Structure 1
Amino acid sequence: MLTDVLARRRELILGGNADGFADLFAADAVIEMPFGGPPGAPTRLAGREAIRAYSRQVMAAPLRLEEYEVTTLHRAADPEVVIVEMRTSGVVTTTNRPFTAIAVQILRIRDGRIVHVRDFPDPRGLQGALGD
């Protein structure tokens, strides 16, 4: 079931479906980016509707995602938890510059819904593509 949720998440992200993506989360889900994300991004989103609003904003950005993949999947001792190494690549549509972004995420998935994500993105992925 965990891998089904991850596969659906990939499909929705590549399709730019912010509402479908948000619907993968429990109503009281939390996303944390302890080391920060892109400039101006919140470090914590609490609740499905906050995740939905932020996802709509991110998916409206001038990025065309071409690949979104789990490069490595680690199972935790806790059956609800997976640790994924991610790679996302695409193009910044305003500059036509390619980018590759990597991250490590720790997800807790319960009853087919994502309840908690800790996201550790490498901030260098978009820096060169976005320019100054």
Structure 2
Amino acid sequence: MSRSPQEIFESYVHAGTLTGNADALAEMFTEDGVFEAPLVPAGTVFPRRLEGREEIRREMAAYYQRNAKGGGAPNPQKTGYVLHTTSDPDVFVAEIDVVFDGAGEDATISLVQIFRIRDGKIARLRDYFAPRWAT
């Protein structure tokens, strides 16, 4: 039984943004999966392009560890998203407004993610967000 875009997206958010579990996140990708953040400048803390499940695992674990101390936590109750299916059943798009609790004011990051699925796993994910959050 294949998983719906909603199930895939919610699992991805839980593994990544909510728990910072690089192992769970990497297992969501195909062996040759690609994670891209095309708007992120080269040399920033957030990886711009990762190829293969093991590189995704290694680099995202390092990213989560570096950023464990900083910034506010994402607030799932204030965060919203809309999923859009496409004419290709293996492609869906997520529009997201992530709200981070901070000292004083909340901060919102608006982004778009394009998911390409193969055999129930993420074959390619393009994550479009403001580069200022990648540093």
Q: TM-score range by the shorter chain?
A: 0.7 to 0.9
Q: Which moved more, 1:30-39 or 1:5-14?
A: 30-39
What 5-or-longer segments of structure 1 have no aligned partner? none
The alignment status of 1:3 with 2:6, answered yes or no, reads yes
Q: Distance in 2 between matches of 1:70 and 1:54?
A: 27
Task: Report the TM-score, using the length of structure 2 for normalisation.
Answer: 0.76
Q: Which moved more, 1:61-70 or 1:75-84?
A: 61-70
What whole-Å deviation, never above 9, does each CA across 1:12-32 have from its counterpart, x for those lacking one?
Answer: 221221211111111100012
What 5-or-longer segments of structure 2 have no aligned partner? none
Residue of structure 1 equivalent to 2:122:
114
Residue of structure 2 equivalent to 1:65:
74
Q: How does 1:35-74 map to 2 (within 5 A)?
A: 35-36=39-40, 39-60=44-65, 61=67, 62-63=70-71, 64-67=73-76, 71-74=81-84
Count of residue pairs the alignment pairs up: 125
Identity score, percent: 31
* Alpha carbons 1:70, 1:84 under 8 Å: kept: no
Task: Please give the root-mean-square deviation of Cα atoms over the aligned residues, in Å.
Answer: 2.7
Residue of structure 1 equivalent to 2:113:
105
Q: Distance in 2 between matches of 1:96 and 1:21?
A: 31
Give the aligned residue type for 1:65. Answer: P
